A = this chain, B = another copy of it.
Amino acid sequence: MIAYTPEAVHDFAPQSLDDVPPILADHSVTWLDIQGLGDEKLLRHVAELFKLHPLALEDAVNVPQRPKSEVYENHYLYITRMTMLREGASELDTEQVSIFIGRNYVLTLQEHCGDVFDPVRQRINAGIGAIRTSGPDYLAYALIDTIIDGYYPVLEQIGENLEALEEKALASASKSTLREIYATKRQLLNLRRAVWPQREAVSALIRDESPLITAPVRIFLRDCYDHTVQLIDVSETFRELCGNLLDLYMSSVGMRTNDVMKVLTIISSVFIPLTFLAGIYGMNFEHIPELHVRWAYPALLGVMAVIAVGMLYVFRSIGWLGEREREREPDGSG
């Protein structure tokens, strides 16, 4: 838990919460970042200190909440979900972050420990940009912006997954592809559930006539709003592409079945009549005149060859054989 103030930066790691009030009084902006929601007593103490509305605290602590922003008497509550790209994770990881914006403080509650807010902390320490000369509303904007920006690499990764899946769906028909498509679908649905309400939440921050958010920061928040809309646009596009992937996969399977059938049909159609002919002359009738003819055997072989070639010619002419051959090559290599 770290606290910061504007003009000069002071990092505090308060042992007990009793240290907080003087810090609050001394500095124009204080940021208290609480990671992990386990310590109930501490949270209740904090709530008292900052005079948080009981419902606001409840919403911040009970996860998962729907992203939203709500005005209370003394403070603003902005609940959002952040996401992080984890190595090899098939599920989308989202985590609830609650931001309380007060007159001279920002209080953030994260579900788990993490260092997503490090860039903001660095900007404060380095004094880059307007962050140190602005109020707590600008700090809140910086935090929200950081969270929203965290979605872009996730979306990019999903986009790459989708392209890889498209190739897979066309090339092979394994069950794992099916499973991956479905998992991506679920990921996108979860993403959507996390992103959609953020648009409303940011929009509410902009529209609400609260004195806690100043006009210049509203312009910056408008930028955040545009980003959430863009996120939604992209994720909707992905969702539709993903829906089509299942159709693509099914078409691909259907076509493959078709190919298999063609092979079976061609081989059967060529050999079954020939086998029948061989069967004819394998019969033990006493009086089959052909059996005694000297050139009958080679003649029959010739007839069989003609039938086989004729069959193949017919199949080629209706496009089955050629097509299969053409198909086989990319299939074998892919």
Task: Say how far A280's CB is from chain B's closest CB, in angstroms.
Answer: 5
Judged by a CB distance under 8 angstroms, whether A189 is at the interface is yes
Q: Is the interface of A mostly helix, strand, loop or mixed?
A: helix
Tell me the bound Cα distance from A297 to B240 in angstroms: 62
Copies in the complex: 5
Contact B269 A263 (CB under 8 A): yes
Instruction: Kindly state the separation between the CA atoms of A217 and B173 in the bound complex, as whole angstroms.
Output: 57
Is B258 touching A268 in the complex (CB atoms < 8 A)? no
Minimal beta-carbon separation of A81 from chain B (angstroms): 12
Q: Which of B243, B247, B320 contacts A260 (CB 8 A)?
A: B320
Give the segment of A20-28, A105-113, A116-124, A282-290 that binds chain B.
Answer: A282-290
* Chain B hits for A330, CB < 8 A: 175
Q: How many residues of A contact B (CB 8 A)?
A: 98
**A262 contacts B by Cβ under 8 Å:** yes
Stretch at the interface among A34-42, A131-139, A205-213, A219-227: A219-227
The answer for the CA separation of A294 and B288 in the assembled complex, in Å, is 9
Sample of 8 further A-B pairs with CB below 8 A, known A173-B255, A182-B248, A265-B267: A53-B219, A55-B219, A178-B248, A193-B234, A193-B237, A264-B269, A284-B291, A285-B290
